[in-house]
Structures are given as structure tokens and as C-alpha cells.
Amino acid sequence: MAVYGVAQITITDRTAYDRYSAAFMEVFSRFTGTLLAVDETPEVIEGEWTATRLVLMSFPDAEAFHAWFDSPAYQAIAQYRHAGSTGVVMLAKGLGGQAGAAGT
């Protein structure tokens, strides 16, 4: 079942974060994920959003997400994300073809 990685990031040190950004795609491209969106100015429709960057990724399954996220290659560059930002990274399960799922 497809899963989606969602990151809400607040950049606190642009120089450190830019080191992470510069290396991200080279590492990410080694894995089976798809980068769907990166936006520093998402349109907030309802509620309050205080982060400064939204990242949305898809993966074929949770194992593929963890193969990327937990890899030595990603963890080596994640130190720059940690040094230059705070945030939340979440993994959401896809609906698996269930249109009109309850609670949406």
C-alpha cells in the first residue's frame, strides 16, 4: 500500500538547511520514492500553519520509506536538516483504492 511522507519544517538557519537541500535529491533519487511537492508558501485554506516549508513524498510502501529515511546516506545529510531547522516528519498510509473512506 502506498504511503506518503509529510514534513512540516521551520527553517532556523538557512545556510545549514541549504547544505541539506543541495544534497537531498542526489540521495533521494537512489530510492523508490517520488517527491510530490516542496513549498515554502503553501496556501493555507483553514486554520493556522506556522512552518516555513512543506514537503510531500510518496513511496510504494512503508518499507520503501524507511529504506530511504533510515539509510546511512540520508542520515549523513539529515544532520544538516537538524542543524538548520525544526519540524515534524510524518508517514501517512494511502487509502489503497478505498474511495470515500470514512472520516474524510
Which one, of 43, 24, 20, lies nearest residue 35 by Cα? Answer: 24
Q: What is the pTM of this model?
A: 0.87
Written as tens digits, the pLDDT of the chain (104 aa) is 999 999 999 999 999 999 999 999 999 999 999 999 999 999 999 999 999 999 999 999 999 999 999 999 999 999 999 999 999 999 999 997 665 555 55
Ranges of beta strands (E only) in the chain are 3-11, 34-39, 53-59, 85-93
* CB contact at 8 A, 5 and 55: yes
For the chain, which domains are there?
3-93 (3.30.70.100)
